[in-house]
A and B are shown apart, each in its own frame.
Chain A
Amino acid sequence: MRAYLLRRILATIPVMAVVALFVFSLLYIAPGDPAAVIAGDQASPEQIAHIRASLGLDRPFLMRFGDWLWHILHGDLGTSIFTNLPVAHMIAQRIQPTLSLMVFTLALSLIIAIPMGVIAAWQQGKWPDRLIMVFAVLGFSTPVFVIGYVLAFVFALELKLLPVQGFTPIEQGFLPFLRSLILPAFTLGGIYIALIARITRAAMLDVLSQDYIRTARAKGLGQGAVLFVHALKNAAVPIVTVVGLGVALLIGGAVVTESVFAIPGLGRLTVDAILRRDYPVIQGVVLLFSFVYVLVNLAVDLLYTVFDPRIRY
């Protein structure tokens, strides 16, 4: 197991290197000029050229890439072209909202979606199953921003129960922190809940048709024990797989959700950086997201061994 873990961690290095090269090259060939954005609408071409030179943006590709890579290898993600702040500092400022949103959404989704999937499978073909699947289809097909606007309209503007926008750090109190996350988490969780509920249902249907379930029922176990103790654990592997893959959905969804709810997280940082062509920030955030995704997949692989003892590394 330890050898496997080490191998997998080492394997992240070439993955990250490819990501780094890909991201840098993509940004290099993409249209846009941060110097022109910085200078403002009235700046002359001469002033823009001055700024471009002062930022080192007129240097050849290999020099810029080599320089950036050298700094990355020394743990320095660079400095934002616009704010002059270190990228690592900007990421650190933004990580709490995004992490909180993603963890809260993940927890909320699992708490809601798994029972939904289990119930749907248990009640297959009956009205609870159909109702849950209607919710699932809606969750899949409704864009994140539409869910966000509707929730904000109902719960913030009309009922005045929750804030429209913004994020309250946990240091300012747990309840305000929670209040600021409820609407964004339900917004971001919509598609995730739908996905997990459907996969849970499908996996449970497969497991519930197995002989050992019939045996469990025959020996008189209650419905709850059959569903949640015997069946769910054996259906967990595909569910965990989808939960892991779905982290990419969360990352993508966080970009939109953070914009709709004005949450100062990494998603908004990415969008702002892309619109301004703040290359060091884009590169830093994409590298971070890639790293997180690789780690999540590793965690999923390790979780397989918990749910299915037959799996060994």
Chain B
Amino acid sequence: MKRRAFLQSAAAAMLPLTAPGLAYGAEARLLKFIPQADLAILDPIWTTAYVTRNHGFLVFDTLFGIDGQFRPQLQMLESAGAESDGLLWRLRLRDGLKFHDGTPVLARDCVASIRRWGARDAFGQALLAATDELTASDDRSIVFRLKRPFPLLPDALGKASSNLPAMMPERLAKTDPFTAITDMIGSGPYRFKADERVPGSLVVYERFADYRPRDSGTPDWIAGPKIAHFDRIEWHVVPDSATASAALQSGEVDWWEQPTFDLLPLLKGAPEVTIEQIDPTGFPSMARFNQLWPPFDNPAIRRALLGCVSETDEMTAVAGTDSHLWRADLGFFPPASPMASTAGTAILQGPRDYDKVKRDLAAAGYKGERVVAMIATDFPVLNAMGVVGADMLKRAGMNVDVLATDWGTVVQRRAKKDSPEKGGWSVFFTSFSGLDQFTPASYVALRGNGQNAWFGWPTAPKLEELRDQWFAAPDLAAQKKICEQIQLQAFVDVPFLPLGLYYQPTAHRKNVTDLLKGLPIFWNVRKG
């Protein structure tokens, strides 16, 4: 073969290598999505991980679903009502609901599911604590007999935050709540394709043909008809943010759930990409104290530190200088919550006076005790928050020992109740979904139940008492009033320092439309 002929043949042979991918005929029925993290755990009752919650909404359905006004609406239910002064609730399932294995959804499945969820979820625990008897009176009727009125029953069963009150077949729901289920049989709009799952890389869902959406209402958050427009949804786990950004720009994926803040300017300039903010509740951030050991066992010291908090500095470090992406007026409830108020927040506003904070700390009895500040460096948001937060404590004159490590180590060490000298800790930095802090029901960081409380173990009887009152409050106005008192009490007890709230945008191709507000959920969305 002559050299020129060889080169021509070689070039021709290489052409298919560089040709674009295969035909995209079925592209409109396929959605490729990059989730915030790998879906390591499938059971939405077993973990509070948000990625598992999002997966849960695809596979499982819920009895109620909250709407954009955060009001619970009927979802799997045809009707729900309270009788006997709120001591008896009757819930009736819609007709024709089926699980992915083809069996009908029965009331006894839901009863078992509620019991399993109620063993793990804080809101569920409160509901079951108020419940005398939970039964299935027939195939479609669920009956709650209560010890005391629990007007928030629909809110509890329709909560959109973790743990998800997912309805599953009785045989699965009878699994010990502390043992994870892996058999993903739900009654949601998509079925989980276990045979195609590659942990750490790929999760596949296909449309559940027998799913019956509600025949009335408007899709809004988790409420209304769940219309599935895709035959197949693929979750591609892309751990590197630069690669995820490039994959979205090149059209290899359609939707990236959580683009990192540093890449937003780049994505804003990409012609085929849209940046959207679907979650109006944001991510409230905090510095959480260990109240078992000095110096943060002293409430006066915790209160003194309120004077050095700069939410603006924190949020600028986390999300940049575009103030549309954050709020620096956070109290103890996210601004989107009806429970939010300005009660007591003045102390967090205005110029910061570190000399005064130093004086206040000394007056409160701070004697230079070592403060072990844990910072998770593998999450950019938590790293930025921790670095600024630790600096804030240092500028206030505290003897800070920064422990920069990975999140895996932080979650292990924060569970230790030993003193900081013996491998314990003093403070760590984290953020929650705003939904988790929307009301006292699921707000673990505002609990004050001592050794049983969330990490940091605050003992705050007044906060606990107000929480109990909130559950029994008859209406929204009464709930709001109690939450004002909770916030004022939180400024006294200071279970954590509020560090501001950031809004996590999502990024998708321009041809992906009709995303619902709230969570990354996959009904109603379509692709042109």
Residues of A within 8 A of B (CB): 31-33, 36-48, 50-51, 54, 80, 82-85, 90, 93-94, 149, 152-153, 156-157, 160-166, 175-176, 178-179, 182, 259-262, 264, 268-269, 271-272, 275-277
**Chain B residues, Cβ within 8 Å of A36:** 411-412, 414-415
Q: Choose one: A40, A160, A166, A178; the contact of B47 (CB below 8 Å).
A: A40
The answer on a CB contact under 8 Å between A269 and B200 is yes
The answer on a CB contact under 8 Å between B49 and A262 is no
The answer on a CB contact under 8 Å between A178 and B17 is yes
Q: Which stretch, B311-319, B351-359, B450-458, touches the partner chain A?
A: B450-458
Q: Choose one: A48, A175, A259; the contact of B17 (CB below 8 Å).
A: A175
The answer on a CB contact under 8 Å between B252 and A163 is yes
* Given A90-B199, A260-B240, A264-B201: 20 more A-B contacts, CB < 8 Å: A32-B409, A36-B412, A38-B46, A40-B162, A41-B48, A42-B436, A44-B454, A45-B457, A80-B199, A83-B182, A162-B17, A163-B250, A164-B246, A165-B246, A166-B236, A179-B17, A262-B236, A262-B240, A275-B408, A276-B408
**Chain A residues, Cβ within 8 Å of B249:** 157
The answer on a CB contact under 8 Å between B202 and A44 is no
Answer yes or no: B237 CB below 8 A from chain A CBs. Answer: yes
Query: Quick one: CB contact mask for B135-162 with A, threshold 8 Å, 1 for yes?
Result: 0000000000000000000000000001
B residues 199-229 touching A (CB-CB < 8 Å)? 199-202
Interchain CA distance A197-B178 in the complex, whole Å: 56
**Chain B residues, Cβ within 8 Å of A39:** 47-48
**Chain B residues, Cβ within 8 Å of A83:** 40-41, 182, 199
**Chain B residues, Cβ within 8 Å of A152:** 243, 246
Closest residue on chain B to residue A173 by CB atoms:
B22
The answer on a CB contact under 8 Å between A84 and B48 is no
Closest residue on chain B to residue A152 by CB atoms:
B246
Answer yes or no: B413 CB below 8 A from chain A CBs. Answer: yes
The answer on a CB contact under 8 Å between A153 and B200 is no
The answer on a CB contact under 8 Å between B247 and A262 is yes
- Given contacts A152-B246, A153-B246, is CB(A37)–CB(B408) below 8 Å? yes
The answer on a CB contact under 8 Å between A31 and B409 is yes
**Chain B residues, Cβ within 8 Å of A44:** 444, 452-454
Interchain CA distance A93-B198 in the complex, whole Å: 7
- Given contacts A36-B415, A260-B243, is CB(A42)–CB(B252) below 8 Å? no
Q: Whole-angstrom distance from the CB of B283 to the nearest CB of chain A?
A: 11
The answer on a CB contact under 8 Å between B201 and A164 is no
Sample (19) of A-B pairs whose CB atoms are under 8 Å apart: A31-B408, A36-B415, A37-B411, A38-B46, A40-B47, A45-B452, A48-B415, A82-B199, A93-B198, A156-B250, A157-B249, A160-B250, A164-B243, A164-B246, A166-B247, A166-B252, A262-B244, A276-B40, A277-B408
**Interface residues of B toward A: which range?**
35 or more
Answer yes or no: B298 CB below 8 A from chain A CBs. Answer: no
**Chain A residues, Cβ within 8 Å of B17:** 162, 175, 178-179, 182
Answer yes or no: B20 CB below 8 A from chain A CBs. Answer: yes
Q: Whole-angstrom distance from the CB of B86 to the nearest CB of chain A?
A: 28
Q: Choose one: B47, B238, B406; the contact of A165 (CB below 8 Å).
A: B238
Q: Choose one: A41, A94, A182; the contact of B430 (CB below 8 Å).
A: A41
The answer on a CB contact under 8 Å between B378 and A275 is yes
Closest 9 CB pairs of A and B: A40-B48, A264-B201, A33-B412, A36-B411, A82-B40, A161-B18, A42-B48, A262-B238, A164-B246
Q: Choose one: B162, B178, B202; the contact of A54 (CB below 8 Å).
A: B178
**Chain B residues, Cβ within 8 Å of A33:** 408, 411-412, 415
Q: Whole-angstrom distance from the CB of B202 to the nearest CB of chain A?
A: 7
Closest residue on chain A to residue B176 by CB atoms:
A54
Interchain CA distance A93-B203 in the complex, whole Å: 13
The answer on a CB contact under 8 Å between A268 and B201 is yes
- Given contacts A84-B182, A156-B246, A157-B250, is CB(A32)–CB(B408) below 8 Å? yes
**Chain A residues, Cβ within 8 Å of B40:** 82-83, 272, 276
The answer on a CB contact under 8 Å between A40 and B49 is yes
Query: Quick one: CB contact mask for B451-479 with A, threshold 8 Å, 1 for yes?
Result: 01111010000000000000000000000
Interchain CA distance A31-B180 in the complex, whole Å: 24
The answer on a CB contact under 8 Å between B455 and A38 is no
The answer on a CB contact under 8 Å between B405 and A51 is no
**Chain B residues, Cβ within 8 Å of A90:** 199
Answer yes or no: B68 CB below 8 A from chain A CBs. Answer: no
Query: Quick one: CB contact mask for B410-434 with A, threshold 8 Å, 1 for yes?
Result: 0111110100000000000010100
Q: Whole-angstrom distance from the CB of A183 to the nearest CB of chain B?
A: 11
**Chain A residues, Cβ within 8 Å of B237:** 262
Closest residue on chain B to residue A47 by CB atoms:
B120
Answer yes or no: B368 CB below 8 A from chain A CBs. Answer: no
Answer yes or no: B103 CB below 8 A from chain A CBs. Answer: no
Interchain CA distance A288-B411 in the complex, whole Å: 29
The answer on a CB contact under 8 Å between A264 and B198 is yes
**Chain A residues, Cβ within 8 Å of B378:** 275
The answer on a CB contact under 8 Å between B453 and A84 is no
Closest residue on chain A to residue B182 by CB atoms:
A84
Q: Whole-angstrom distance from the CB of A58 to the nearest CB of chain B?
A: 13
Q: Whole-angstrom distance from the CB of A264 to the nearest CB of chain B?
A: 3
Q: Whole-angstrom distance from the CB of A54 to the nearest CB of chain B?
A: 5
Answer yes or no: B38 CB below 8 A from chain A CBs. Answer: yes
Q: Which has the most chain B C-beta neighbours within 10 Å: A32, A161, A261? A: A32
Interchain CA distance A276-B39 in the complex, whole Å: 12
Q: Whole-angstrom distance from the CB of B255 to the nearest CB of chain A?
A: 15
Interchain CA distance A7-B331 in the complex, whole Å: 71
Interchain CA distance A155-B238 in the complex, whole Å: 19
Interchain CA distance A36-B414 in the complex, whole Å: 9
Q: Whole-angstrom distance from the CB of A96 to the nearest CB of chain B?
A: 11
- Given contacts A90-B199, A275-B378, A276-B40, is CB(A268)–CB(B239) below 8 Å? yes
**Chain A residues, Cβ within 8 Å of B200:** 264, 268-269, 272
Interchain CA distance A179-B243 in the complex, whole Å: 17
**Chain A residues, Cβ within 8 Å of B198:** 93-94, 264
The answer on a CB contact under 8 Å between B199 and A42 is no
Answer yes or no: B16 CB below 8 A from chain A CBs. Answer: yes
Q: Whole-angstrom distance from the CB of A256 to the nearest CB of chain B?
A: 10
Interchain CA distance A122-B235 in the complex, whole Å: 52
**Chain B residues, Cβ within 8 Å of A269:** 200
Q: Which has the most chain B C-beta neighbours within 10 Å: A54, A153, A182? A: A54
The answer on a CB contact under 8 Å between B48 and A54 is no
Interchain CA distance A54-B175 in the complex, whole Å: 13
**Chain A residues, Cβ within 8 Å of B162:** 40, 42
